[in-house]
Amino acid sequence: MLEVKHISKSYRVGGKKPFTSRRIVALEDVSLTLERGQTVGLIGESGCGKSTLGRIIARLMPPDSGDILWEGNSLWPEGAFFDRHSIQMVFQDLGSALNPGRRIRWIIQEALRAKKIHRDGWDQVIKAMLPRVGLDWDYLERYPHELSGGQKQRVAILLAILMEPGLIVADEVVSSLDVSVRAQILNLMQELQQAMGLSYLFISHDVGTVYYMSHKVAVMYLGQIVEEGSADAVYLRGWHPYTRLLLSSRLEGGETRPAAVEQAGEIPSRLRLGPGCRFADRCPLARQSCRKEKPPLREVEEGHWVRCPYCE
């Protein structure tokens, strides 16, 4: 359904003056495919480029280069074939997503207006959709600050599914929620996936949550995908030293701000990246040649790709 082909993206930082301005590479030659009804999980440390990729796929900004195909047609520039509601994004930052000065009813009606659903049909749609996300009429008259984090996230998911999307980009959607509420929201997302044939790009730095949700997983490090495959291939038979480091820090059911990863040294600055493997400074298997040439992705079993020529 969605094919991301060789996209790159850099940001300018340090203002516009020539002597302070720098470009940092947020994504480098990233490719990914997403099938209908499936979830692709994206994991990696803070700053590796997950949200940048999510925002580009959700068409909130264009890539510098590369192509994104939706059912075989290019998304940039957008063609007449594409219904812009087909890809929705749900964020972690609930506060800014819901207009604080408006009741939930108004916020939902705005979405229905955007979808060009006639006013006469609004009540009927709302009545049908509220129970799908586990909310009732009472919530319609509340303001966003009168809802809990989990309830706000249910509203955010409702707003997304009202658009009848094919794909939802879910960026750290449960990261700020308590463990029990987190499980409810994840289960809700899975129920909706079954019922509506939705696909998700599920972005999180929590490795346990990603395993629970995903059919396929991509591991990102400093703007590149370093390993990709089925969730089981990556989690149970992960090859890349970074994947192993990330997973070794996995704590059963708990938080995963991975201590082991931090101990393995700092993430190198994007301004000082050398020509070779981006993980070389922290890699226990690194050798001379790793710093000279960029490792390509290689297929180690069907559908399982690893960006390292040396690990097994």
Footprint on this chain of ligand SF4 (rule: CB under 6 A): 241, 277, 279-280, 283, 285-286, 290, 295, 308, 310-311
The nearest distance, CB 173 to ligand ATP, in angstroms, is 12
Binding mask 85-124 for Mg ion (x = CB under 5 A): ----------------------------------------
Beta carbons of 294 and 276 less than 8 angstroms apart: yes
**Residue 51 interacting with ligand ATP (CB under 6 A):** yes
Residue 51 or 243: which CB sits closer to ligand ATP? 51
Cβ-closest position to Mg ion: 51
* Candidate list 41, 43, 49, 88; residue touching ligand ATP; CB under 6 A: 49
Closest CA to 134 of 114, 157, 118: 157
Binding mask 41-80 for Mg ion (x = CB under 5 A): ----------x-----------------------------
* Rounded (5°) CA angle 209-31-270: 80
- 131 CB-side CA count, 13 A: 3
Residue 13 or 179: which CB sits closer to ligand ATP? 13
The nearest distance, CB 222 to ligand SF4, in angstroms, is 11
Beta carbons of 184 and 150 less than 8 angstroms apart: yes
Residue 165 or 295: which CB sits closer to ligand SF4? 295
Closest CA to 208 of 259, 252, 248, 257: 252
Number of Cβ atoms within 10 Å of the Cβ of 3: 16
User: Taking CB within 5 to 8 Å according to partner kind, which of ligand SF4, Mg ion, ligand ATP, none is near residue 295?
Assistant: ligand SF4
Residue 88 or 243: which CB sits closer to ligand SF4? 243
C-alpha–C-alpha distance, residues 279 and 292, integer Å: 12
Number of Cβ atoms within 10 Å of the Cβ of 307: 23
Please report, as residue ranges, which positions from 270 to 299 form the binding site for ligand ATP (by CB under 6 A).
Answer: 270
C-alpha–C-alpha distance, residues 217 and 230, integer Å: 6
* Candidate list 30, 32, 40, 50; residue touching ligand ATP; CB under 6 A: 50
Burial 106-145 (b: 16+ CB within 10 A, else e): ebbbebbeeeeeeeeeeeebbeebbebbbbeeebbeeebe
Residue 25 or 311: which CB sits closer to ligand SF4? 311
Beta carbons of 57 and 169 less than 8 angstroms apart: yes
Closest CA to 250 of 269, 234, 265: 234
Q: Which stretch binds ligand ATP (CB under 6 A): 40-48, 153-161, 230-238, 246-254?
A: 40-48
User: Taking CB within 5 to 8 Å according to partner kind, which of ligand ATP, Mg ion, ligand SF4, none is near residue 277?
Assistant: ligand SF4
User: Taking CB within 5 to 8 Å according to partner kind, which of ligand SF4, Mg ion, ligand ATP, none is near residue 48?
Assistant: ligand ATP
| Long-range own/partner contacts, residues 283-292 (CB < 8 A, 24 or more apart) | 283/241, 283/242, 284/241, 285/241, 285/310, 285/311
User: Taking CB within 5 to 8 Å according to partner kind, which of Mg ion, ligand ATP, ligand SF4, none is near residue 183?
Assistant: none
Residue 270 or 307: which CB sits closer to ligand ATP? 270
Burial of 47 (0-12, 13-18, 19+ CB in 10 A): middle
Residue 82 or 310: which CB sits closer to ligand SF4? 310
The amino acid at residue 1 is: M
> What does the binding site for Mg ion look like in residue numbers (CB under 5 A)?
51
